[in-house]
Each structure stands twice: as C-alpha cells, then as structure tokens.
Amino acid sequence: MVIDFNRLNTGNSSNNTVNKPSVAQNQPPSSGTGAAPEAAPNKPAGSGESVQLSQQAQALKQAESRLNDLPSVDKERVERLKAAIADGSYSVDAKRVAQKLAAFETQR
C-alpha cells in the first residue's frame, strides 16, 4: 500500500473524506528527544535492506548446489550390475548380507 505523505492532513475538507491518522500516531513512542519522526521517502517495501550470509552459510549453499548437480543414481554402476547379472557373473555373499542386516538391526 502506498501512502502519499504530501496529502495527509492538508486541511482540505472539500472532498468529504475522513482525515487519516498521521504516521506519528501509528509509531511507538520516541526515545524522549522531543523530535518528531520524519516520514521515509516513498520506496518499495524492502528497499535499502540487505542480508549478509556468513561464510559457513555460503559454503553450505555452494555444497548444496554442487550436490544438486550430481545425478541421484550412478548410472554407470547400474549398467555394470545389470551386465553382471545378465552374464551370470554377479554373486551374492550371503554371509556379508547377514552381517550387514544384523548390524543395521542393532543400530535401531
């Protein structure tokens, strides 16, 4: 919402509108200096504000972007496994699978 500060409380009552409260009435009490707060120039919301990320946050953002660039599936490994299964050279080490399952169950 844009407020035209130049037209607030001008005393022109010929347009039959209700006088709007001044900006100073909507602000918290001043620090006691007696100076009235000045209205800010008309700027889009958020202009003049800045945010600075810490080095750690910047590093995390870079790491996240690098991870997003990586494929979620290692297609080369999948193709090797498919080929090994297809030609019969893929073997399952049952003892290793059992050890991994037991280790997983004890971690929960």
Residues in the chain: 108
Residue 30, pLDDT > 70, answer no
Residue 64, pLDDT > 50, answer yes
CB-based contact 45:1 (threshold 8 Å): no
- 47/53: higher pLDDT: 53
Residues 18-43: b if buried by 16+ CB within 10 A, e if exposed: eeeeebeeeeeeeeeeeeeeeeeeee
- Dihedral of the alpha carbons of 85, 89, 92, 93, in degrees to the nearest 10: -160
Stretch 54-74: mean pLDDT, rounded? 90
- In the block, tokens 């022109």 appear at 12
> Quick one: pLDDT at residue 79?
96
